[in-house]
Amino acid sequence: MAYALERWDLSDLFPGLESEAYARAGTALEDFLRGFEAARPRLNDGLTPREMFEILQSFDELQRQVSRYLGFAYLRFAEDTQDPLAQTMRGRADQVAAEVGNRTLFFTLWWKGQAEARAQALLSGAGDYRQWLLNLRREAPYTLSEPEERIINLKDVTGRHALVGVYDTLTNRYTFQIEVDGETRHVTRGELEAYRTDPRPEVRAASYRELLRVYAAEGNVLGQLYQSLVRDWANENVDLRRFSSPVAVRNLGNDLPDEVVETLLDVCRQKAPVFQRFFRLKAEWLGVERLRRYDLYAPVGEVHRTFPLDDAVHEVLAAFEAFEPRVARQAQQVLDERHFDGEVRPGKRSGAFCATIEPGLTPWVLQSYQGQPRDVATLAHELGHAIHASLAAGHTALTQQATLPLAETASTFGEMLLIDRLLAQDPEPEVRQALLFRQMDDNYATVLRQAYFAVFEKEAHGRVVAGAQVDDLSDLYLETLREQFGDAIELSEDFRAEWLAIPHIYHTPFYVYAYAFGQLLVLSLYQQFRDEGRSFIPRYLEILAAGGSDSPMNTLGKAGIDVRQRAFWEKGFGVLERALDALSELPRPSPAK
């Protein structure tokens, strides 16, 4: 079958935004919601597990309807963000979703408020909804009295949320200047950062210097915002709710034991020299003595080979097929059902994603396919997400999708399968080199960089409470950079200000370690696959098929994986060391460039 770069087909959802069917779905949703609200009086002490199950089924159905209604508007918008109709309908669908959230709050609140014995009785009949219900109750031990919770909610609006809002407003307003080819350009942050991969060293340096200059100039106010957010975090979560530490709040949300996260971060610090070796190697390739921090993402060589979509699809599906034919068929379904939009069009959403609407529907994948090796890897990545969703399609709409720590498992694994296939075919050196460097660049950005952000955050939260000033935090940040780079990178003082420019640490403290967790998890699983061969496959597929129907620890535990062990995480770094070995064996380009 030949695959074309074209717009996807959304008709499995609705014929169009102005269609009769879409309007009817909106009305039906309202009716269904009213029906669900009518269940409210049934939520009393006499509710049997059987009745509870029926209410859950009805809630599940409501979520499916919302997901289709909202999903369609979002996908139409992603397909053409400039279409005024799609813009309007997306806004309307958002409102509908928010209203459904508000009008069903009574149900989740009621459930969270049930006494433990009563909750256990109801859980016994909950079937596949069990984990979803458990997730809602996980915070129960840290929940305060209702009036206290109400005050926190109320004060958060003008407190924590307002502070984050001020950070966003200030930083989104920043404009940047950069001189390229003798011309001064006024650019957004995104455009500025694109110059980090410019082949010219002076342009890369200028890109970083400008970003750091602007943030450093605002360091006092941005730093104060951070200090207030961190103090608020400690006051609420440690003092009032009695969490054992600031990071424990996030661990509970991710359903991971504290010691697992400690071990992960510890192994990352200990293995920083693996990336330092990479940076030294990259310096050699670029023909410089030592890499400056500005050169971290410098491109190595040029790639002339391009992959037409058909070739890319062939390579990706063949890589999946060799692994397990069933998953190859699930990926192919996305393409055969025309749920793939790979065309490059003005107005189309940038980047790539895979959207899972509900268990019965093949997911939709969007990317702007341009034929570079990295586009082929992205295709494998997004189709990996689709495989994950399809394998877990036996679950309910509430439990199909994996929780954050496991969400990138199939996608990253799929990318690894593809890269290994392309490398094994012994393509031209320039393609091998592009693939291997991209893999290491990505791994640095996802594993070590994120792990060190978390290391910084943990230390910063402690020091702010102990009275640290903004300048002390900048010193601390520079210390963490020195540790991660060792003497492999020439680190300039201007990077002291970099932490001010990381939105995650303001928005969602400690979120970043999940990136390192997910990526390293997959690397380690991949190494297990290499060591064990095909006997590994059923256990791996079981992890994916669990979706979000169990806790990450149970899902991994059932597959015989113990993330409490250092050795498990170290195995992940082993894959990177092997990739580095492969890179060292490639012939170097002549330094005269």
For the beta carbon of residue 147, count every other beta carbon within 10 angstroms: 8
Residue 356 vs 362, nearer CB to Zn ion? 356
> Minimum Å distance from CB 385 to Zn ion?
6
Residue 300 vs 544, nearer CB to Zn ion? 544
> Minimum Å distance from CB 353 to Zn ion?
8
Residue 233 vs 515, nearer CB to Zn ion? 515
> Minimum Å distance from CB 417 to Zn ion?
15
> Minimum Å distance from CB 267 to Zn ion?
23
C-alpha to C-alpha distances, 382 to 387, 403, 440, nearest whole angstrom: 9, 17, 19
How many alpha carbons lie under 13 Å from residue 587 in its C-beta half-sphere?
A: 5
Helix (H, G, I), strand (E, B) or coil at 394: coil
Number of residues interacting with Zn ion: please give it, by CB under 5 A. 1
> Minimum Å distance from CB 412 to Zn ion?
7
> Minimum Å distance from CB 401 to Zn ion?
12
* Choices 31-39, 127-135, 321-329, 404-412; region in contact with Zn ion by CB under 5 A: 404-412
* Choices 35-43, 340-348, 410-418, 574-582; region in contact with Zn ion by CB under 5 A: 410-418
Given the DSSP bridges, would you call strands 291-292 and 176-180 parallel, antiparallel or unpaired?
unpaired
Angle between helices 536-545 and 409-424 (to 10 degrees): 140
Residue 254 vs 411, nearer CB to Zn ion? 411
Helix (H, G, I), strand (E, B) or coil at 545: helix
Footprint (CB under 5 A) of Zn ion, residues 259-278 = none
> Minimum Å distance from CB 407 to Zn ion?
7
Beta bridge partners of 371: none
Footprint (CB under 5 A) of Zn ion, residues 127-156 = none
* Choices 188-196, 285-293, 406-414, 459-467; region in contact with Zn ion by CB under 5 A: 406-414
Which tokens belong to 548?
């979000």
* Choices 173-181, 302-310, 321-329, 408-416; region in contact with Zn ion by CB under 5 A: 408-416
Residue 237 vs 450, nearer CB to Zn ion? 450
Residue 330 vs 411, nearer CB to Zn ion? 411
Cβ-proximal residues to 393 (8 Å cutoff; 6+ apart), any chain: 359, 360, 400
Site mask for Zn ion (CB under 5 A), range 419-448, x = bound: ------------------------------
For the beta carbon of residue 490, count every other beta carbon within 10 angstroms: 15
Residue 411 vs 443, nearer CB to Zn ion? 411
Measure the CA–CA gap between 68 and 59, rounded to whole angstroms: 14
Residue 359 vs 384, nearer CB to Zn ion? 384
Given the DSSP bridges, would you call strands 489-490 and 291-292 parallel, antiparallel or unpaired?
parallel
Contact criterion met (CB below 8 Å) for 235 and 247? no
Beta bridge partners of 366: 341, 353
Burial class (CB in 10 A: 0-12, 13-18, 19+), 87: middle
Which tokens belong to 34?
């009213």
Residue 334 phi/psi, 5° resolution?
A: -60, -45
> Minimum Å distance from CB 153 to Zn ion?
32
Measure the CA–CA gap between 187 and 178, rounded to whole angstroms: 8
411 binds Zn ion (CB under 5 A): yes
> Minimum Å distance from CB 391 to Zn ion?
16
C-beta nearest to Zn ion: residue: 411
Measure the CA–CA gap between 205 and 291, rounded to whole angstroms: 12
Residue 411 vs 555, nearer CB to Zn ion? 411
- Phi-psi category of 592—alpha, beta or left, where left has phi over 0 and alpha has psi -120 to 50? beta
Helix (H, G, I), strand (E, B) or coil at 307: coil
Site mask for Zn ion (CB under 5 A), range 361-400, x = bound: ----------------------------------------
C-alpha to C-alpha distances, 164 to 87, 169, 230, 268, 457, nearest whole angstrom: 26, 9, 11, 29, 16
> Minimum Å distance from CB 366 to Zn ion?
12
Closest CA to 91 of 73, 79, 78: 73
Residue 411 vs 484, nearer CB to Zn ion? 411
Residue 366 phi/psi, 5° resolution?
A: -125, 135
* Choices 20-28, 217-225, 321-329, 405-413; region in contact with Zn ion by CB under 5 A: 405-413
Residue 399 vs 411, nearer CB to Zn ion? 411
Contact criterion met (CB below 8 Å) for 373 and 364? no
Measure the CA–CA gap between 566 and 569, rounded to whole angstroms: 5
Footprint (CB under 5 A) of Zn ion, residues 7-66 = none
> Minimum Å distance from CB 322 to Zn ion?
22
Radius of gyration of the chain (CA): 25
> Minimum Å distance from CB 515 to Zn ion?
10
Contact criterion met (CB below 8 Å) for 277 and 579? no
> Minimum Å distance from CB 389 to Zn ion?
12
* Choices 120-128, 321-329, 389-397, 409-417; region in contact with Zn ion by CB under 5 A: 409-417
Residue 411 vs 446, nearer CB to Zn ion? 411
Residue 411 vs 524, nearer CB to Zn ion? 411
Q: Which residues bind Zn ion (CB under 5 A)?
A: 411
